[in-house]
Chain A
């Protein structure tokens, strides 16, 4: 039986000995990836949101044993795919965040939604972001950024006729 393994931002990740160690600690302490932030450690703030096989998860709630065979993408991965790139750019243009501690989580929660539902309306966007708390902005700026991201992603798809760009942890290119 081969050693258990998982993929992290397109590379092999290192699994710890303790099967209950949280993915959040694996990222921050074992791999030096600090984009995922500890805010509550019980899945109630969303600051540690990462994508696990394309779905948003709270890294604090994923125990190491669940990682085997999965692909994890974190918000600081520079080549996170075109959807993430468009989401990032839209949120930057809108100055969507203030203290910014929640920002990486919002980026991935939103990218996951727009990959799944590129035509998402405001109600769907709000529903997709309910697990991500922001204490600074009152959410209006994040919502504006999300709507901009959706429109740009739609335009990008229209221009290329391509399928929406899902996060491709390995080898994908940024569109710009």
Chain B
């Protein structure tokens, strides 16, 4: 949205386009699909004055066979090429190459010419292998030049690519094509290769091998080609070819992959693809040094069942919000538009650490269309927020501590004006040293980011005599586990809108996870009583912990108050990346020892977490991590320390798993390794160390009933995956199976206040409203509420109307975090339903002229009336027909007489207060079966089986969705995701560089199983499962990788380069 308008020329013929280009020189750009161009603009490239649109030029469009050759107009969209029958017949290799470019919707616009002209396109290796030529128009006229020659020339500004021409691909010629990326599909290229061997009477005539794509210069590989010519395909010296390719391929290093890796993967791909897969490391079978022990199953635990629609059609309910979501008519808080609504924007620091010398907003305020600019000077109350420690300024006035720090905000009549105003705010900074890692931040002399210093929290655990214990161990394993700065990646970035009400209060509608706490924090910033602030937090387009802390609310509130008008604000993705909270990157050094039989004797652990600039919930995250350092195992001697370090990196805090999944990665890998050195299977080793149900928890606290760890191990031992086949189709791959066990605490723990209030009431229209101050962030809250309340009242789910996430309407039920919502929903219904049912029955009795029903001991109608679907009916009638419908009952009552019932309760807590301990837990065992590609070292998850035990399933679809979704979010953490920072700045600012799993990365098959039973007398009902599904994914995949290649990956995301090296080393061993 630059100030100057872009002009677009749509020429009618090629000459006109060329003339415009010559006339405007560097001020004009050619474009067909303009997809790459817009990516460049988003990354900050200057926009041209003139865009010459080639998409409408007939001679640049379409595919035709001309004299046996294929001619493809340069502006032809890739989608047309991949669907074209002539291409499929004459150049199938090109069709395959086209499908590796971006994704289908991008290919609808992007052209072949654009892919070629940028010289980085993923089609170039295939085009080189197909011996393509280009038709080019210059001032001198038309010329035809071989692609390989054209690539050797310098770029010619005043030229226009008209078409790509190809000789037909020789029939029966062996070909290969491979694009190596950073994830399975829709990825930037690491390197791409293509090869074609034309056969002449059983002998290789010409061989054309090529590499290129992304950062790799497009290149033919003539020295390697020469090794093939003249030989029959069966007599190729593949090892010789491989060595030649390694020597010949020219590829660069970058921060993601080394040059060596690119060359190796490319050489492997060409050799394997052309028939030499047999020479890849380990192709002859598994050769690693690690033994492979398999558990002996004695059967899955009784009652464990598959959770799916097919397994229980009657238990499958439609989510209340699914139809609106699928039809695109659900109004998210960022969708709100109204006449006169202002658009807000936030000025970010854009630098990791600096002192603010001055902020001048005069020019911005003077810009026509700007309604208000706010800075720290406009903060009437406490200019600080944070769930645990209020250390983050709403708007910075003295110092900025990370790139995403908010410095000012504007409200203007439209987006363009707001953006222009941002550019007019003059902030003078004096740079300060950038503390870009915990090591730098803890070094002597590092400037403290906060008064208490950069070591923001240190937590320790110690029991027994660690030194003597290690001395007595028969086996000790030790390693460092490194975990990534994972981004929550909610599809709806932070945003919403705010407005002043007639009574002088402010309403803020921003997706969040605890409206009542947001209200507290906003009121503090405004210096207002909480009663003057209303916060609406649902529906939210994904959160995962990333909307637990305040996001845009301070800026929105200040802008609405200052302007007195409605203001909306929605972060763009790059601003969300810069400003938003991430998962704490951790380094976990762990040493684990056991006796000769595998009984754990000692665990020592040292954890260092990067907290970024502000505390948010990070202190609690490292505490939770440490709480999980022994897994669910008995360890007599423990020494642990966890340190949270403030840096100038992006701020970190809550993320699904909350430290538990990171620590589970470490301890479960240690268990797998110990099993190998002890010489037993991974189930047996865990069984030998498993905590006994009812024994004290990690801190010695009393823990809740219904532990199911042994049952999860039984389920894991009985898994069919252990005996699944090793072969994996066409790709040469090493296949392995792995297991990890986990448990996840529910609730905030024994130290923080953790209360919930709920209300049930009959609405005037006869709906039964269930009021919960929890948020629908996608997890299925409304389905859970319907399920729990309907079951308690004995009515239909559809009769329950959830009212959620609005401090103006709903009681404070606590936060939608920490796997606590499920229990709150269920317990709230259990507590509020009896009195509500009694009130309904009494009201009905009065109407029907019956005696009061209140004496009924269970409150649910052991008198003559009862609740049922549709309304109130005779308690002893089986007809099911209500005597009085709920709507009828409501219609006859004045508003103040409508039945209602409130309940408030504490989340069940542990009796331990020297540290933050949990009382309720959910349990799981995850099995992964993976294929490690011998060509690239990439890991593909073939099967992911998640066994869970979390009490009764409240809603099957929500349960399934939470576990499956957690599984793939964990898969991303394990294989592709890391928001890397360089000198305090994010290396990738959008979803082209931060790579979450696509559907192509999702497991080929997945299965979720639930063991629902509770111990007799267990009063706690269903446990929370929001975090259980992510908990054991990383170590399960790690164990499967180790099973496949003999190497335990110690850093997530797992490096394909390391695994490829492990495959080579294993082969050499």
| Cβ contacts under 8 Å, B541 to chain A | 37, 99-101
Given contacts A109-B104, A126-B999, A133-B991, contact A99 B964 (CB under 8 A): no
In the bound complex, what is the Cα–Cα distance between A112 and B102 (angstroms)? Answer: 17
What mask results when residues 617 to 646 of chain B are scored 1 for a CB within 8 Å of chain A, else 0?
A: 000000000000000000000000000000
Say if the beta carbon of A102 comes within 8 Å of chain B: yes
Using A37-B491, A43-B103 as known contacts, list a sample of 4 further A-B pairs with CB atoms less than 8 Å apart, ordered by residue number in A.
Answer: A41-B572, A61-B38, A100-B325, A134-B999
28 A-B pairs in the complex with CB atoms less than 8 angstroms apart: A19-B7, A19-B8, A28-B337, A34-B331, A37-B541, A40-B990, A42-B992, A43-B35, A44-B992, A45-B991, A56-B104, A56-B105, A61-B109, A62-B109, A66-B53, A76-B329, A92-B322, A92-B326, A93-B318, A97-B322, A97-B325, A100-B321, A100-B326, A104-B328, A130-B999, A132-B998, A134-B999, A140-B964
Q: Is the CB of B5 within 8 A of A20?
A: yes
Say if the beta carbon of A151 comes within 8 Å of chain B: no
In the bound complex, what is the Cα–Cα distance between A101 and B1002 (angstroms)? Answer: 19
Say if the beta carbon of B214 comes within 8 Å of chain A: no
Given contacts A18-B5, A88-B326, A100-B330, contact A42 B39 (CB under 8 A): yes
In the bound complex, what is the Cα–Cα distance between A127 and B716 (angstroms)? Answer: 32
Q: Is the CB of A52 within 8 A of B778?
A: no
Q: Is the CB of A135 within 8 A of B105?
A: no
Say if the beta carbon of A171 comes within 8 Å of chain B: no
What mask results when residues 997 to 1012 of chain B are scored 1 for a CB within 8 Å of chain A, else 0?
A: 1111011001000000
In the bound complex, what is the Cα–Cα distance between A124 and B925 (angstroms)? Answer: 32
In the bound complex, what is the Cα–Cα distance between A130 and B324 (angstroms)? Answer: 24
Q: Is the CB of A40 within 8 A of B991?
A: yes
Given contacts A74-B328, A92-B318, A135-B542, contact A37 B106 (CB under 8 A): no
Say if the beta carbon of B544 comes within 8 Å of chain A: yes
Say if the beta carbon of A172 comes within 8 Å of chain B: no
What mask results when residues 51 to 89 of chain B are scored 1 for a CB within 8 Å of chain A, else 0?
A: 101010000000000000000000000010001000000
Given contacts A94-B309, A103-B328, A107-B328, contact A138 B492 (CB under 8 A): no
A115 CB to closest chain B CB, in angstroms? 12
Q: Name the residue among A39, A40, A42, A52 with the largest chain B CB count within 10 angstroms.
A: A42
Say if the beta carbon of A142 comes within 8 Å of chain B: yes
| Residues 528-547 (chain B) with a chain A CB within 8 angstroms | 539-542, 544
Say if the beta carbon of B851 comes within 8 Å of chain A: no
Q: Is the CB of A131 within 8 A of B105?
A: yes
B477 CB to closest chain A CB, in angstroms? 31
| Cβ contacts under 8 Å, A78 to chain B | 327
Say if the beta carbon of A173 comes within 8 Å of chain B: no
B582 CB to closest chain A CB, in angstroms? 14
Q: Find the B residue at minimum CB distance from A20.
A: B6
Say if the beta carbon of B319 comes within 8 Å of chain A: yes
Spell out B's residues near A (CB within 8 Å): 5-8, 10, 33-35, 38-39, 42, 47, 51, 53, 55, 79, 83, 99, 102-106, 108-109, 185-186, 309, 316, 318-319, 321-332, 335, 337, 415, 488-493, 539-542, 544, 570, 572-573, 777-780, 957, 960-961, 964-969, 971, 990-992, 996-1000, 1002-1003, 1006
Q: Is the CB of A34 within 8 A of B491?
A: no
In the bound complex, what is the Cα–Cα distance between A140 and B968 (angstroms)? Answer: 9
| Residues 66-95 (chain A) with a chain B CB within 8 angstroms | 66, 74-76, 78, 88, 91-95
| Cβ contacts under 8 Å, A133 to chain B | 489, 491, 991, 996, 998
Q: Find the A residue at minimum CB distance from B783.
A: A95
B804 CB to closest chain A CB, in angstroms? 14
Q: Is the CB of B8 within 8 A of A65?
A: yes
Instruction: Point out the residue from B99, B104, B106, B964 that lies within 8 Å of A137, measured CB to CB.
Output: B964
Q: Find the A residue at minimum CB distance from B103.
A: A131
| Cβ contacts under 8 Å, A141 to chain B | 957, 960-961, 964
B541 CB to closest chain A CB, in angstroms? 4
Q: Is the CB of B542 within 8 A of A35?
A: no
Spell out A's residues near B (CB within 8 Å): 18-20, 28-29, 32, 34-47, 49, 52, 55-58, 61-63, 65-66, 74-76, 78, 88, 91-104, 107, 109, 112-113, 116, 126-144
Q: Is the CB of B492 within 8 A of A37?
A: yes
B877 CB to closest chain A CB, in angstroms? 34
Instruction: Point out the residue from A49, A91, A95, A107 that lies within 8 Å of B961, measured CB to CB.
Output: A95
Given contacts A58-B106, A61-B106, A127-B99, contact A43 B38 (CB under 8 A): yes
| Cβ contacts under 8 Å, B39 to chain A | 42-43
Q: Is the CB of B491 within 8 A of A39?
A: yes
Q: Find the A residue at minimum CB distance from B43.
A: A42
| Cβ contacts under 8 Å, B326 to chain A | 88, 91-92, 96-97, 100, 103-104, 107
Instruction: Point out the residue from B108, B335, B957 that lies within 8 Å of A52, measured CB to CB.
Output: B108
In the bound complex, what is the Cα–Cα distance between A75 and B998 (angstroms)? Answer: 21
In the bound complex, what is the Cα–Cα distance between A88 and B326 (angstroms)? Answer: 6
| Cβ contacts under 8 Å, A127 to chain B | 99, 104, 185, 1000
| Cβ contacts under 8 Å, B318 to chain A | 92-93, 95
In the bound complex, what is the Cα–Cα distance between A69 and B638 (angstroms)? Answer: 71
| Cβ contacts under 8 Å, A109 to chain B | 104-105
Q: Is the CB of A103 within 8 A of B325?
A: yes
Q: Is the CB of A39 within 8 A of B542?
A: no
| Cβ contacts under 8 Å, A42 to chain B | 38-39, 42, 573, 990-992
Instruction: Point out the residue from B103, B105, B186, B1002 that lies within 8 Å of A138, measured CB to CB.
Output: B1002
Q: Find the A residue at minimum CB distance from B971.
A: A138
| Cβ contacts under 8 Å, B35 to chain A | 43, 61
Given contacts A76-B328, A101-B542, contact A39 B337 (CB under 8 A): no
Q: Find the B residue at minimum CB distance from A34.
A: B335
| Cβ contacts under 8 Å, B33 to chain A | 61
| Cβ contacts under 8 Å, A32 to chain B | 337
Q: Is the CB of B991 within 8 A of A39?
A: yes
Q: Is the CB of B540 within 8 A of A99?
A: yes
B855 CB to closest chain A CB, in angstroms? 42
In the bound complex, what is the Cα–Cα distance between A41 and B540 (angstroms)? Answer: 19
B651 CB to closest chain A CB, in angstroms? 20
Q: Find the A residue at minimum CB distance from B2.
A: A20
Q: Name the residue among B42, B777, B965, B971 with the largest chain A CB count within 10 angstroms.
A: B965
Q: Is the CB of B332 within 8 A of A140?
A: no
| Cβ contacts under 8 Å, A135 to chain B | 488-491, 542, 544, 965, 969, 996
In the bound complex, what is the Cα–Cα distance between A116 and B80 (angstroms)? Answer: 12
In the bound complex, what is the Cα–Cα distance between A20 and B327 (angstroms)? Answer: 28
Q: Is the CB of B998 within 8 A of A140?
A: no
In the bound complex, what is the Cα–Cα distance between A55 and B33 (angstroms)? Answer: 14
Q: Is the CB of A39 within 8 A of B573?
A: yes
A87 CB to closest chain B CB, in angstroms? 9
| Cβ contacts under 8 Å, B38 to chain A | 42-43, 61, 63
Q: Find the B residue at minimum CB distance from A75.
A: B328
| Cβ contacts under 8 Å, A142 to chain B | 999
For the complex of A and B, the 7 pairs showing the least CB-CB separation, nearest first, are A131-B103, A35-B328, A100-B325, A99-B778, A138-B968, A98-B778, A101-B541
| Cβ contacts under 8 Å, B779 to chain A | 98
| Cβ contacts under 8 Å, B330 to chain A | 100
In the bound complex, what is the Cα–Cα distance between A102 and B330 (angstroms)? Answer: 12
| Cβ contacts under 8 Å, B969 to chain A | 135, 138
In the bound complex, what is the Cα–Cα distance between A102 and B961 (angstroms)? Answer: 15
| Cβ contacts under 8 Å, A143 to chain B | 999, 1002
Given contacts A127-B1000, A142-B999, contact A136 B965 (CB under 8 A): yes
Q: Find the B residue at minimum CB distance from A25.
A: B415
In the bound complex, what is the Cα–Cα distance between A129 and B572 (angstroms)? Answer: 23
Q: Is the CB of A137 within 8 A of B965?
A: yes
In the bound complex, what is the Cα–Cα distance between A102 and B55 (angstroms)? Answer: 29
Q: Find the A residue at minimum CB distance from B543.
A: A99
Q: Is the CB of B968 within 8 A of A139?
A: yes
In the bound complex, what is the Cα–Cα distance between A88 and B1003 (angstroms)? Answer: 24
| Cβ contacts under 8 Å, A29 to chain B | 337, 415
| Cβ contacts under 8 Å, A96 to chain B | 322, 326
Q: Find the A residue at minimum CB distance from B511.
A: A99
B336 CB to closest chain A CB, in angstroms? 9
Q: Is the CB of B492 within 8 A of A131?
A: no
Q: Find the A residue at minimum CB distance from B490.
A: A135
